[in-house]
Structure 1
Amino acid sequence: MKQFFLLFSILILIVLSSCRDDFESEPSFGELEFSQDTLYLDTVFTNIGSSTYSFKVYNRSSRDIMIPKIQLNEGENSNFRLNVDGVAGKTINNINILSRDSIFVFVEVTADIQELSQNQLSFLYTDQINFDSEANQQQVQLVTLVKDAKFLFPERFPDGSTETLSLGLDAEGEEIQIDGFVLDQGHLTFTNEKPYVIYGFAGVPSGEILTIEPGARVHFHENSGIIVSNAASLKAKGSLSSTDLLENEIIFEGDRLEPEFSNVPGQWAAIWLTEGSTGHEFDYVTIKNSTVGILMDSNDGSSEPTLKIKNTQIYNSANVGLLARTGFIDAENLVINNSGQSSLNLSLGGRYNFRHSTFANYWRNSFRQFPAVLIENNLEAGETLFVSDLDVNFSNCIIYGNESIELLFNKSDEAEFNYKFQNTLLRFNDINNQYTDNELYDFENSDLFENVIINEAPQFQNTEENKMIIGEESAANSFGNQNTANMVPFDILGKNRIENPDSGAYQSIQFED
């Protein structure tokens, strides 16, 4: 009998609660609270949609309320868009909030800077969201910075297809194509007037030079990049900046400008220097958040390096920072850090000289099975092994990371394998004695390893934030070879290193507490 009355009571409660009218709410009384009174949507490119931002609206009272109208102040003319409690629009009516409850408001923006302000490169665009009206009205301000840009993208044809670039034939004789376009004569010089936003691969045609001037900003959409064809060149030559804004440096990065994307790897594809391309120069350049920073296929067979790279930083590559297959590279003041595989992979031989460079890998996004520096004179493709002679020299460098071993060789006896490390700090902690009897890692052999330091800390400033300058207690302090320092008399920040040179791309500093 007691069970019957208990079940009956529960049934009555369910029926009564189901009969509640959810719209029996009192009108808003002007006492809403907000998680923020101004919503900053960060920077967006003109006509490119932003990320979705949100804030919360609280009803702290003991009464259920109904907000009769939530509206953008500019109404239908606003470039902002709202979604309130699952309802989208620019004016939204009759939104209920239960007592001591809250709702989310989601906001996006897409704006055309030419409509907002003529002849300005950036424009601070604002609006506000009005909650209720008249005496009960409350507001949340909306702010975003809209930047003008030059957009480069493949042509779209009437049948819905888009322009592509041919990469040759695959093993079955089928043509390999990627979304992309060929840069015409009017787009072979990138200036610092406006940022560039590239969709697909921008192809530098044979015999032409893509020149990128100091201070230029080049942004890539997902799966986009630059591809330099046979007999073409890329010359990205910035200059030393005087502020942290890197106003004279050239920066390659993704097209998401929100702070949460500032260090996200794999946002775009690569700068691809294809076989036969020639005369590439990078100076005062930052390459960040790509899949591969620079991919270099082969060299042009000349006596001069195919790629001269100096005062350059490559960070947050999902796979490899600098991947060279039979490359010919001359580098100084080069810094690479945080790569999903290797920061530097010299694959299938080639000729390389690295002076005063820092190759580090403190990747923390996933498991990493490759060292910071991987050096090979062979490449397996299916059942075929390709080999090519290797000659590489490191002088006054740092090779370090958060794994025990950050330098590995992959040698085939079918091709030359020549290397020399001089005045270089190395991470090679062979805790399992895998390489004890391997002559490739005979660090006592001065013909291969002359004056090297093993497993002593470089004391980087902040590896997670890619601040790879070294402190005064670094093992690389005063360890540089003077002859090499004379060849590279200034570090990547323009600091003179002739007297008392340190190894790596940076002269040491005293860190602040």
Structure 2
Amino acid sequence: MGKLTGMVAALMIVLSVSFLSSCRNNNDFFTAKNSLKYSADTVWFDTVFTRVPGSTYPISVTRIFSIKNPEKLAVNANFQLGGGTNSAYRMSIDGISGTQINDIEIGALDSVFVFVQCKLEANNNTQPLLVMDSIISSVGGHQSNVKLAAYGWDAHYFRDTIFESNITISDNQKPTVILGYLGVDQGATLTIKAGVQLFASAQTKIYIAGTLDIQGTAAQRVSIRGDKPVWDPQFLPNQWGGIHILVGSINNSIQYADITNAAIGIRVDSLPVNGTTGLKISNTRIQYSGQASLAGITADIQATNCLFADAGSYSFLGLLGGNYAFNHCTFTEYSGFSSRTDGHFAATNTLRDGNGKLLNHAPLNLTVFNCIVDGPQKEELQFDQTTFNDFNIRLENNLLKSLNPKSIITYPNFFNKTPGFVDVQRGNYQTDSTAFGYKKAGTFGSPATIDLLGKTRKPQPDLGCYEKLP
């Protein structure tokens, strides 16, 4: 027993020594100065919508920066927001969140990551207002800081809203933010006036059972896009669902609008009743959609001076027939959002399952005049037809990237020439001095006297939605 007692005592001594040696002495920390290195002097959030009254929405995206300890000893650092508990910002370090975070150990030559969000209160201004703060670090009583900056923008909000009677959105000073769905019931009209800016959240889809009337002008275009009002995400698709014009909707009109970042920019279902139109769209840009810029299912669409560009799969998709008329439009896809190998301009009088089995068919009437269809593939057109129904297409006087599959195109066109776009990588499809379509438009249908931007066209206009830059 005495021998066992001695072994236990020896073991306890060893464990005690081990435990004591594992405890860091405060003298082991570097405290001579605050030499922490920040990966950014200022953390910018650009523009953030201010908070909905009585709600925690919206919260900004999360910004991340790192703090490095350049010393050969560890440091023990304290962090706090300059605005304290009243700050519009929140931070998280090493899994700890708050306005003040203490005793964060940063090893020698090691780093920690800081996660920051902001939630801004309404400021009663029509223009974004700068809101600043800082994260203050303290090492051994020595302080340094990194600045935080965001522009807060007051907005109007609609959340999960259905309009059962006529409504007009006209305030072009403050943006309008849509949270969740927005619907227009049958018999009601949603009018959007010139200069209005609509921002749609990730869950947003706009459903039109009644009528949509967008009244932009050349000087004050209407903008509908994802709700991250910063530059970079403008090029990102699938930020919101898009506009869905439902069966029974009539007399929809869109003029001078920019519709971007959706999954499907505009989808139109079914032919309207006799004496009405489905969708007339002019001087409008639909760009950076995840799946399609414009899609119709047995639909009625008339488009003039429009750009349908940079969608993952289709600039235009017309399924199961319908009536489509395009004049002076540009269809192109250089986004790289998908690894597509098929053409991005597609029209059919069929509906097939995944195995190609014919499920349904309907008559197709398609006219395309003075347009440009271009892209990186050798074949950018797709047609599928069945003899069980009408397949009437007339493509004439267009610039087409196509091998003319099955000799479907029988009218005169220009094939496989360089359009002369200014910058496809930046989505600029205006044409420069190399434009092949310069002064090559014909007078088919209703000649366009202006281009997408409202610029007066020449007596002998250019192909596509833009007149060539001077």
For residues 451-503 of structure 1, the C-alpha deviation after alignment (integer angstroms, 9 at most, x for no partner) is x111111121222322111121122122111456x721111123222333110
For residues 17-59 of structure 1, the C-alpha deviation after alignment (integer angstroms, 9 at most, x for no partner) is 9847386313361332222221111211122111111222232
Whichever residue aligns with residue 141 of structure 1, its letter is K
**Stretch of structure 1 that moved more, 375-384 or 346-355:** 375-384
Distance in 2 (CA, whole Å) between partners of 1:51 and 1:263 is 17
Question: Which runs of structure 2 are paired with 1:194-273 in the superposition (5 Å)?
Answer: 194-229=174-209, 232-241=210-219, 248-273=220-245
Whichever residue aligns with residue 61 of structure 2, its letter is S
Distance change (3 Å), C-alpha of 1:80 and 1:22: farther
Question: Which runs of structure 2 are paired with 1:282-293 in the superposition (5 Å)?
Answer: 282-293=254-265
Contact 2:222/2:256, CA 8 A, preserved across alignment: yes
Tell me which residue corresponds to 2:136. Answer: 130
Distance change (3 Å), C-alpha of 1:201 and 1:28: farther
Distance in 1 (CA, whole Å) between partners of 2:289 and 2:25 is 52
Contact 1:265/1:318, CA 8 A, preserved across alignment: yes
Question: Which runs of structure 2 are paired with 1:302-451 in the superposition (5 Å)?
Answer: 302-380=274-352, 385-429=359-403, 435=405, 438-441=406-409, 445=410, 449-450=411-412
Contact 1:28/1:132, CA 8 A, preserved across alignment: no
CA apart distance, 1:509? 2.2
Distance change (3 Å), C-alpha of 1:354 and 1:221: same
CA apart distance, 1:353? 1.5
Tell me which residue corresponds to 1:96. Answer: 105
Aligned residue for 1:302, secondary structure, equals: coil
CA apart distance, 1:390? 1.5
Contact 2:168/2:193, CA 8 A, preserved across alignment: no
Distance in 1 (CA, whole Å) between partners of 2:342 and 2:328 is 23
Match of 1:34 among 20, 38, 41: 38
Contact 1:28/1:66, CA 8 A, preserved across alignment: no
Whichever residue aligns with residue 217 of structure 1, its letter is Q
Distance in 2 (CA, whole Å) between partners of 1:40 and 1:385 is 53
Contact 2:344/2:381, CA 8 A, preserved across alignment: yes
Aligned residue for 1:92, secondary structure, equals: strand
Contact 2:369/2:444, CA 8 A, preserved across alignment: no
Aligned residue for 2:117, secondary structure, equals: strand
Match of 1:183 among 163, 171, 191: 163
Distance in 2 (CA, whole Å) between partners of 1:120 and 1:493 is 26
Distance in 2 (CA, whole Å) between partners of 1:228 and 1:18 is 71
Match of 1:141 among 120, 142, 147: 147
Tell me which residue corresponds to 2:429. Answer: 468
Tell me which residue corresponds to 1:21. Answer: 24
Aligned residue for 2:115, secondary structure, equals: strand
Distance in 1 (CA, whole Å) between partners of 2:20 and 2:71 is 21
Structure 2 runs not aligned, ≥5 long: 1-17, 52-57
Distance change (3 Å), C-alpha of 1:506 and 1:109: same
1:85 aligned to 2:100? no
1:76 aligned to 2:92? no
Distance in 2 (CA, whole Å) between partners of 1:18 and 1:477 is 82
Distance in 2 (CA, whole Å) between partners of 1:187 and 1:385 is 40
Distance in 1 (CA, whole Å) between partners of 2:111 and 2:166 is 54
Tell me which residue corresponds to 1:52. Answer: 62
Contact 2:33/2:139, CA 8 A, preserved across alignment: no
Contact 1:277/1:299, CA 8 A, preserved across alignment: no
CA apart distance, 1:303? 4.1
Distance in 1 (CA, whole Å) between partners of 2:149 and 2:258 is 29
Tell me which residue corresponds to 1:5. Answer: none
Tell me which residue corresponds to 1:171. Answer: none
Give the count of matched residue pairs.
444
Contact 1:411/1:417, CA 8 A, preserved across alignment: yes
Contact 1:388/1:416, CA 8 A, preserved across alignment: yes
CA apart distance, 1:267? 1.4
CA apart distance, 1:507? 1.3
Tell me which residue corresponds to 1:508. Answer: 468
Distance change (3 Å), C-alpha of 1:17 and 1:408: farther
For residues 225-253 of structure 1, the C-alpha deviation after alignment (integer angstroms, 9 at most, x for no partner) is 11111xx2100110113xxxxxx111111
Distance in 1 (CA, whole Å) between partners of 2:100 and 2:205 is 40
Report % sequence identity. 29
After superposing on structure 2, the runs of 4+ consecutive aligned residues of structure 1 that deviate more than 4 Å are: 15-18, 184-188, 381-384
Distance in 1 (CA, whole Å) between partners of 2:202 and 2:125 is 29
Aligned residue for 2:225, secondary structure, equals: strand
Distance change (3 Å), C-alpha of 1:118 and 1:474: closer
Distance in 2 (CA, whole Å) between partners of 1:71 and 1:185 is 51
CA apart distance, 1:186? 7.9
1:498 aligned to 2:458? yes
Distance in 1 (CA, whole Å) between partners of 2:230 and 2:20 is 45
Whichever residue aligns with residue 440 of structure 1, its letter is I
Contact 2:252/2:278, CA 8 A, preserved across alignment: yes
Aligned residue for 2:408, secondary structure, equals: helix
Contact 2:202/2:239, CA 8 A, preserved across alignment: yes
Distance in 2 (CA, whole Å) between partners of 1:466 and 1:392 is 27
Distance in 2 (CA, whole Å) between partners of 1:509 and 1:147 is 35
Aligned residue for 1:76, secondary structure, equals: helix
Tell me which residue corresponds to 1:169. Answer: none
Aligned residue for 2:243, secondary structure, equals: strand
CA apart distance, 1:284? 0.7
Contact 2:240/2:261, CA 8 A, preserved across alignment: yes
Distance in 1 (CA, whole Å) between partners of 2:395 and 2:338 is 30
Contact 2:246/2:268, CA 8 A, preserved across alignment: yes
Contact 1:342/1:370, CA 8 A, preserved across alignment: no
Distance in 2 (CA, whole Å) between partners of 1:236 and 1:208 is 14
Q: What is the root-mean-square deviation in Å for CA atoms of aligned residues?
A: 2.4
Distance in 2 (CA, whole Å) between partners of 1:41 and 1:200 is 23
Distance in 2 (CA, whole Å) between partners of 1:399 and 1:314 is 15
